[in-house]
Structure 1
């Protein structure tokens, strides 16, 4: 274009200049991303440091705490507490009526014990399915819309389940309540990664992520007494009421934490006041550069793609799922061991489960301290040598505690005072929460899309948690509690421990294999 054309068509000159500025912004932004690839803490870069290159570039003002990572600690703690509450309530509801299954079967005319056990498992099967699409949705539309939408479904069908008169009605309500209840659990890993840095993440994760594993333990404690004093139907209505109240508070107290979504909202707001300017964000540039069919497919089904293509995440998910399934399988034994064997009432059997809860609390505190010590060791020289596999160091001790606790429980139950097997359960729980928390943090730290990585773990763990109780009664009928529990211990020792060793040694290489496979599948957005 010559000078005459530029004078004749000034709009073309403006458009050309704007395009060149965008190209410059994109080139510099790619350099920033390349510099950040060596950093272990993956954080969304809105282009704040290059904002002066183009006045039309909209970024998150980190000085004004617009980026979730720069929120005040008070605001971070409030958001973490809210998501922690949501993550506790739905797993709590998954097992709360477990002590009253016989009452449910009687009222709904269920004669098959497997169908009765399925009413607990069907909730977990929903947990396995829903994160496959809820986590990717949160990485497109934000965390809060997924959480609040899921809570609404959870509340509605928990209430419906309490009014069910037939098996079909109850099963459908339980399944749909599980779909809605899984929303917070599906995105919790993403929320933690959104707002907490590596140094603080272990403590935040320890607090917020204990809900999905402590909830199923506390549920029967409350459910047993509710069924004795009122009705099994209240075991569905009480979680619904609690979630409804918490959801109303969340509308005001839980802001959006997904930085790309926060940036999109800021752009929309800015466009209303600067309608004549050609405003854009780095997200617009990425979409122009990266819009293949593989990318779209990967975004929709990213957790499943992760599971198939990333060997590191698959290995970690398998060990996590084995431990989580064993927890649910142990729940099946409590009615026979402490109810029929030791003569405890339904309410007392629920209280016996507190042994697992106490163990999990102790294990969480201990794991956080170990994580902090490892992080301080990796930063003691002033240089960050941290790698995500460092989160797995404590799993060795956790695995040994799991195995030891299972043996103590299995071979002391019905042969000694009931306190002894309960202590064994507590020891198992200390090791179990250690393993699960470590792998959860590994998923959050080691992968580009933490919400989807965490959802990948949820898929397998919920399948295991739903399937294990179905074969539990037959397993213990044939082998007895002692050798049945011993088989679970050998499962953790023979399969889980080698998986962790393999992951710790070869984890970086395996994760690189996963990254390369994902890049080939969707195309590398930086090319």
Structure 2
């Protein structure tokens, strides 16, 4: 299944010709005959990319495509870094402003809430205006609002600016998957997606490591100055080196140019002539994600699963200081070092992602090019157990008198499992919902961000009341319970999809070719 959820399915009418954006033609145009609102027969020339067109992002040089990939992956890393790097400075900030730890933790919560709210606006903006303008404008706003955070004289200023910065900086997380789909052909996308997938999970793992030593040596305000420096640097690189990648935007600009140069008004794109009514577009962007979230069992359970995982990541920001600083009486710097196995686990799983992609390509051939979406769940069914294993290790090695190496190494299997689960979930939703996939992913992002934002507010209390071992064990049992979800959908997903209003219809006759043995 070669379906791109990031094309303009949500802004174009059902009669629009998506082939304009997916096919290269010898003439650079597709003739479209239609009837105007006045009843006249009209002939349009839909502008397409020509064969081997240098303006088609998929035809750009490999070196430049990798440059763009690395720039936007680093952007995602920095976004995630900004969410977690302030954790070691929470206590100092709370003391300076005379507020409780819970109020100080709102600086993380409000930032992460922005990850759920921002995409609701930035996704539709990118489908209308293009990727680049959304990247540049939103990241620019976020960079600016790091300054009042660093200079704030009271907690109110910091929290408001932190909330604005979180909403603005969420755009890269929302758009990067689409940008990679713009750049790379389906068969080329495995390794770039692995690089991108590691970035959002590396940031939260590296943030407390850097933040611990920086807060000790320079104070908590420098945690915000560092965010300004790194986000400002990537903003400059993005602005001056990354071009527009969104095909509908590139072709719309070309159509305008052709009309101006030739005087022929029949040069158009589907974006210009076949848009949905504005009210319908707003409904799709704002209402459809929640229709899928609460009306589709697949979207609901997978969103809950990803929310549990995302919540675990942010719980670690608070749980590690509790276990190591309170329990073992460590300083913030060494506590940050405990996140290293988590980061190594993420990197290790990213290295295996191309192998997972290669296995799926074998299944793609085995099912004659039309594998059921449930084949995407195979990596999830194996990797889901790494999370509870790591949490149980962390839990029962977290006694103050037990050597730190045991609890530290519990982070490795947790990090190792994250990317496999994250990618498999996204791929399953895309294959299941196809033209509705962007809305399904938006629903997942919204729920996981809201839950991730909430977890930091009660983690300390949970660890104090339940004890280090049973608090972590509770999370382990919860993640173990979630392991049933991919197995449930692997065996019953096809039956569930038959009763769905939004799931794509698959050819039930697409069965494995018995003459082919791919040894899975």
For the superposition of Structure 1 and Structure 2, which TM-score range results when normalised by the shorter chain? Answer: 0.7 to 0.9
d(CA) in 1 for partners of 2:345, 2:435: 32
Instruction: Name the structure 2 match of 1:98.
Output: 87
| Range with greater deviation from structure 2 (413-422 or 366-375) | 366-375
Q: Displacement, 1:169? A: 0.3
- SS of the counterpart of 1:384? coil
Are positions 1:428 and 2:414 aligned together?
yes
Compare CA radii of gyration and give the structure with the larger one.
Answer: 1
Are positions 1:278 and 2:266 aligned together?
yes
Q: Displacement, 1:178? A: 0.3
Are positions 1:48 and 2:25 aligned together?
yes
Find 1:175's aligned residue among 146, 159, 163.
Answer: 163
Q: Displacement, 1:505? A: 3.4
Query: How big is each residue's C-alpha offset from its partner over 1:243-284, in whole Å with a ceiling of 9 and x where there is no partner?
Result: 112112112322222211111111122222122443222334
- SS of the counterpart of 1:209? helix
Relative to the length of structure 1, the TM-score reads 0.84
Are positions 1:342 and 2:331 aligned together?
no
Q: Displacement, 1:330? A: 2.2
Instruction: Name the structure 2 match of 1:486.
Output: 473
- SS of the counterpart of 1:57? strand
Are positions 1:254 and 2:231 aligned together?
no
Given the superposition, is the C-alpha separation of residues 52 and 492 from structure 1 closer, same or farther in structure 2, using an over 3 Å criterion? closer
Given the superposition, is the C-alpha separation of residues 254 and 340 from structure 1 closer, same or farther in structure 2, using an over 3 Å criterion? same
Instruction: Name the structure 2 match of 1:401.
Output: 386
d(CA) in 1 for partners of 2:354, 2:437: 20
Instruction: Name the structure 2 match of 1:197.
Output: 185
Q: RMSD value over aligned CA atoms?
A: 2.8
| Range with greater deviation from structure 2 (437-446 or 150-159) | 437-446
d(CA) in 2 for partners of 1:280, 1:437: 36
- SS of the counterpart of 1:130? helix
Q: Displacement, 1:304? A: 4.0
Q: How does 1:3-42 map to 2 (within 5 A)?
A: none
Instruction: Name the structure 2 match of 1:136.
Output: 124
Given the superposition, is the C-alpha separation of residues 58 and 370 from structure 1 closer, same or farther in structure 2, using an over 3 Å criterion? closer
Please tell me whether the aligned partners of residues 84 and 317 of structure 2 are also in contact (alpha carbons under 8 angstroms): no
Q: How does 1:427-506 map to 2 (within 5 A)?
A: 427-446=413-432, 447-448=434-435, 451-494=438-481, 496-506=482-492
Given the superposition, is the C-alpha separation of residues 502 and 161 from structure 1 closer, same or farther in structure 2, using an over 3 Å criterion? same
Are positions 1:118 and 2:106 aligned together?
yes
Higher helix content, 1 or 2: 1
d(CA) in 1 for partners of 2:247, 2:498: 25
Given the superposition, is the C-alpha separation of residues 512 and 170 from structure 1 closer, same or farther in structure 2, using an over 3 Å criterion? farther
d(CA) in 2 for partners of 1:73, 1:424: 38
Find 1:59's aligned residue among 41, 48, 58.
Answer: 48
Instruction: Name the structure 2 match of 1:19.
Output: none
Please tell me whether the aligned partners of residues 187 and 455 of structure 1 are also in contact (alpha carbons under 8 angstroms): no
- SS of the counterpart of 1:407? helix
| Range with greater deviation from structure 2 (237-246 or 451-460) | 451-460
Are positions 1:207 and 2:195 aligned together?
yes
Please tell me whether the aligned partners of residues 319 and 500 of structure 1 are also in contact (alpha carbons under 8 angstroms): no
d(CA) in 2 for partners of 1:241, 1:229: 17
- SS of the counterpart of 1:379? helix
d(CA) in 2 for partners of 1:136, 1:46: 23
Instruction: Name the structure 1 match of 2:518.
Output: none
Relative to the length of structure 2, the TM-score reads 0.85
Instruction: Name the structure 2 match of 1:15.
Output: none
Q: Displacement, 1:416? A: 2.4
Query: How big is each residue's C-alpha offset from its partner over 1:129-149, in whole Å with a ceiling of 9 and x where there is no partner?
Result: 111111121122111111111
Q: Displacement, 1:302? A: 5.0
Gaps of 5+ in 2: 1-13, 32-42, 506-520
Find 1:109's aligned residue among 95, 98, 109.
Answer: 98
Q: Displacement, 1:339? A: 1.7
| Range with greater deviation from structure 2 (93-102 or 364-373) | 364-373
Aligned length: 479
